[in-house]
Each structure stands twice: as C-alpha cells, then as structure tokens.
Chain A
Amino acid sequence: MLETARQYRRCKKSPVEKTRAFLEKIRSDTFNAFITVDEAGALQGAQVAEELLKSPDAGALAGIPVAIKDNICTRGVRTTCASKILSGFVPTYDATVVKKLKEQGAVILGKTNLDEFAMGSTTTSSIAGPTRNPRDPSRTPGGSSGGSGAAVAAGLCAGALGSDTGGSIRMPASFCGITGLKPTYGSVSRYGLVAFASSLDQIGPMAPTARDAAVLFDAIKGYDPLDSTSVPRDYGPTDLDGIDLKGLRIGVPEEFFGEGLNQEVKAAVQSGIAVLEDMGGRIVEVGLPHAGYGVAVFYIVATAEASSNLARYDGVRYGLRVQDPLDLGDMYARTRATGFGPEVKRRIMLGTYVLSAGYYDAYYRKASQVRTLIAEDFRSAFSRCDIIAGPTTPVTAFRLDEMIDDPLSLYLLDIYTIPANLAGLPALSMPCGFDSLGLPVGMQLMAPHFREDLLLGAGISFQDRTAYHQEGS
C-alpha cells in the first residue's frame, strides 16, 4: 500500500492504471472474494484520486484500491450482508468509514463476501456462495470477513475493511496469512455498519502487513457524532516505524494454551512469542480466569442483540417481501423464513429465547455479569503487562468438504478472539508461522483500550524482523 503510494508520488503509476489492473485481476478471481464489483465507481474514484495527487497534501490513501465488506453501507452500491433478505437493497447513504475513505481518495473496488449478516466463521453461508482460501482453495478463508481476507491474500486489493464481532476480522486474517486489526470499541464509527451485535461490532482494517493495516486504521478511526458509542478523544497517527520492544511486558495467559489448541498452532505461536522476547520483550505470565466463559457469554449477548437488530428485516421498507401474502402476519413470517438462512435463524431464535419472559435473568443478565468479570480479568492482567499474546484461533484453515456441521463446535473456534470483543479491547492478528501443511498460523496481540499503537507498533517491528507475512502469497 505504502509502496503503491510511493509509486504514485514518483509518477511511476497512476491510480487509474493501478485500479484497472486490480479490476482485471478481480475478473479472473477464482476465490469468490467479492459479492459486488463496482468497476464504474472504482474508475471514477481513481480519476478523483489523480486530481488529489496533484496536490502535495494528498494522503497516503489517495488512489489506493481497497475493498469493503458487504455489511458496510455504500451509497448507490447494493449492500447485501450476503443475505437474501436484503435483495435489491441499495443504500442512499455511505457508512462513515466509507465516507472517510472516499474523502481521502481511496478507490473502492467493491464489496466482499461474508457469512450471512457476519454470523459465522467460514464465509460459506453467503447467498453468493462460499469464498475459498487463496492459500489453499480447498479450504475456508475463515469468517465472517472471509471475502476481505481472501481479497487481500490474493492481491485483489491493497487492503480491505472487515468487521469483527467475535473474531470476524482476526480469524480470516489468521487463516489467510494476513494482518487484521479489531480496534478498540468506539474508536471506529459503526454508522453504516449493518448491525449484528451492537455492543461488540467494530470495523477494522485487513491488509498484507501491519504497516498497511495502520495506514487504513488511521484513515477510518476517529470520533463520529452519528455514533453515540463513538469515543471523543484525540486520535493521533500511528508511528509507522514500529516500536522498540525493549522492556515491553508481554503477558502470556495460560488459559490460551490449554486443551483444544492444535499442537502445531501452539508451537508456531510460541515461536512467534519467542521472537518478540528476542527483540527485547519481557514475558510475563498472566491469568484470565474467566476467559473460558467467553463463548457462552458471547452467544447469549450477541444473539440477544442480533435478535433485536434483525427485527427490521420485515419486508416493509426494503429488501425481500414474499409474493402474495395472505395478511401482514403471513408476510412477516414467510418473508423472514425465506429471507434468512439457517445460521441466522438459529441465532435469532437463541437471542429471542434468552431475552424472553422468565429466561432474561438466567441468561442475558447472568451473561452480562460474567462479561464484567472477563473485562476485570483484563484490567488486572494489564496492570502486570503491556500487551497480551496468544493464538488467534485454535486451528488452521480447514477443508470446505470437512466442514464442521455442529454449530457449537464452530462457535468454540472463537474462543480466543471473543474475550477482546466482550471487553472492547483492541486486538491484532498477524502471521507467525505455518503448520505442517504450510497453512498460516496467526498470533493474536491484545492491548488496553486505545493502545492500537502498541499492537500495530509491535506488529510492524515484528514484521520488519520476520518474513511470515510475505511467504506463501
């Protein structure tokens, strides 16, 4: 990304040329990374960028072709959430992040594939069909931002935006061997992000390197008066030179290395941590005693919020409406039965149940209390360390024909990523090695609220020292 920006500066390449080249590559994409490619919009954006680049003030993103997960609204370009229920929906507004990218001259190539409504870990439940992992097309790219992950890994865009509710940026970043950042809750506006679980959702960058992720993150972060959960504060630029790891206290929670973690993943992550130690980091043992409850808490809180957030898909104002409804009730029940896929229905049902009369206290309230304990675990851990390191996922990318069909087992893949969402913490996944099949392994770094500088800085320094992020692509 930064290299492309330098090429533009030296007039070696023009945004229009570069955009054409990406569009050409997308046309022959065999990974099904995109749901919608906006060729006309992209070329128009590239032309605007050419003008911008004539000014010495043009930012690092001017003319950079990026892709947007298709649950982020784009004015005039259909936004599907990979769901039949949003058939034909064309937003009349841009999400704040899209507006920001456009203002800075980024070229938006199109909308990437995802699990329906970002509910999944495999990018297989999309109306547009499954996305394949560019590292091994027989395998899943992870999810739910699998389209963005695959597009970045396959070089179909310079960077992409994903969304992360329980790991949906970090998991595909890990499976696809790229870098993905889930920012601090409230540091990137959610306005225009189609809500899955409002108290957990966060948009973030996915890119080939931590440095590129930092450039994208700097472009989209910041207070937005349209999002009440957006945090008003000074968001300084990230130092793209990385940080000195000397003396950095790296917390390693034993809870993240227990049962269920694949041994090859464990080894790769441990070697990654050893590199950080070698660079001057100091390893500290920390405990996150309630992290193991994260999955249970998440699938109560997230589905409760989702059951309410997805109530607006009722066939009245936009999207699918079934033909010839008998009456209003029939229209609702059949539109929603036809429009939502099985996993979305499962989660709406679960969320409706945990909020319903008689169950609220046992499930929703209890989960919200345990959420507090999980956040407190992190608070005390961060009193002893600066960042926390561990695996992003317990396994590497699995084969599409060996798909896990048990929902609960799939949910448990999120076990290491979910705690950061519950506590609103920033978390980064970057490649730290490979398994015996040559599939990338992701290392996850977590930091206190608003300390993305530590994550990206450590990531940049780590990648300046290692080559995992370059291999295999």
Chain B
Amino acid sequence: MKITDGEVLHVAALARIRLDNSEARGLRSDLDKILGYMDILAAVDTTGVNPTHHPLPLVNAMRDDREQGCQDLADVLRNAPQHEDGYIAVPRVI
C-alpha cells in the first residue's frame, strides 16, 4: 500500500478539500494505483542528473522598476463574492 487513509485525510487537509468517507476511500484506492505505477521511476538511474524545472534554459527575465498603472477598484471588486468599502470580505479570521 502506497498511501494510507490517514495520509489521504492529511493531504486533503493541506489542499483544503473536504472529503466525505466514500470519496476518501475512492481517492485512496485511485492514488494507491497511480503511485504504484510511479514506481517504474525507481528503476531509472538518476545519479548525478540535474532536475529539469524549465524545458528551456532561459534566465534573467526581468522588467524595469517602472509603474504600469493599477486597475480600477471596480474591476478589483467585480468578481468578488463579497466586498465592503473597497475591502474583500471573508468569514471572520479568528
């Protein structure tokens, strides 16, 4: 077994996704199968191999410290489920 029920719940908590019991069970079995398949990688010798994080060797993509203008407040709030006095409102953070 690659992943336990406890790990599924822990990962769901990290990802902030509520799972019901049947979902958690289904996910455990799916992830178990998928992670089992990933084991084929263990056979590859990667000693001394640098990891690739970008498919092209680009460096130093930067911009100058110049203002580009901000958006209108109306546009900031247009998509917000709840807002008050220019602030985005969320359930109270304790």
Residues of A within 8 A of B (CB): 88-90, 92, 184-186, 199-200, 225, 228-231, 290, 292-293, 295-297, 299-300, 307, 311, 314-321, 325-334, 336-337, 340, 342, 345-346, 348-350, 352-353, 356, 363, 365-373, 375, 406-408, 411, 421-425, 449
Contact = CB atoms under 8 A, between A and B. Distances in A.
Contacts of B40: 292-293, 296
A352 B15 contact: yes
A300 B88 CA distance: 35
Contacts of B23: 342, 345
Most-contacted residue by chain A among B10, B54, B93 (CB, 10 A): B54
Contacts of A348: 15, 17
B6 to A, nearest CB: 12
A315 B81 contact: yes
A302 to B, nearest CB: 12
A297 B11 contact: no
Contact of A349 (B15, B88, B94): B15
A370 B46 contact: yes
A316 B27 CA distance: 26
B27 A346 contact: yes
Interface in B1-36: 3, 7-8, 10-12, 14-19, 23, 27, 30-31, 33-35
Contacts of B19: 337
Contact of B44 (A321, A373, A422): A373
Interface of B: 3, 7-8, 10-12, 14-19, 23, 27, 30-31, 33-35, 37-38, 40-42, 44, 46, 49-56, 58, 61, 63, 71, 75, 78-82, 88, 90-94
A349 B11 contact: yes
Given A89-B79, A315-B81, A327-B94, A349 B31 contact: yes
A375 B52 contact: yes
Contacts of A406: 33
17 contacts: A88-B79, A90-B78, A185-B56, A199-B55, A228-B58, A295-B37, A317-B79, A327-B94, A332-B16, A345-B27, A353-B31, A366-B41, A370-B44, A372-B51, A375-B52, A408-B37, A424-B55
Given A228-B61, A317-B88, A345-B17, A375 B55 contact: yes
B7 A372 contact: no
Given A369-B49, A423-B55, A318 B17 contact: no
Nearest to B78: A92
Contact of B56 (A318, A328, A449): A449
A299 B44 contact: no
B17 A336 contact: yes
B44 A337 contact: no
B34 A407 contact: yes
B53 A199 contact: yes
A156 B16 CA distance: 40
A235 to B, nearest CB: 14
A365 B51 contact: yes
Contacts of A200: 55
Given A186-B56, A311-B16, A423-B55, 16 more contacts: A88-B79, A185-B56, A300-B38, A307-B15, A315-B81, A328-B90, A328-B93, A331-B90, A331-B91, A336-B15, A336-B16, A336-B18, A349-B27, A356-B10, A421-B55, A424-B56
A413 to B, nearest CB: 14
Nearest to B14: A352
Given A345-B17, A346-B31, A368 B11 contact: no
A229 B49 contact: no
Contact of A368 (B33, B51, B88): B51
B58 A321 contact: no
A327 B37 contact: no
B91 A330 contact: yes
Nearest to A450: B56
A300 B17 CA distance: 19
Contacts of B63: 225
B51 A231 contact: no
Given A348-B17, A349-B15, A424-B56, A293 B34 contact: no
A314 B54 CA distance: 27
B78 A321 contact: no
B64 to A, nearest CB: 10
Nearest to A89: B79
Contacts of A365: 51
Contacts of B12: 349
A292 B8 CA distance: 28
B59 to A, nearest CB: 10
A370 B91 CA distance: 44
A332 B15 CA distance: 9
A422 B49 contact: no
Given A349-B27, A370-B46, A318 B91 contact: no
Nearest to B2: A353
Contact of B38 (A229, A290, A296): A296
B8 to A, nearest CB: 7
B69 to A, nearest CB: 13
B38 A349 contact: no
Contacts of B79: 88-90, 92, 317-319
Contacts of A295: 37
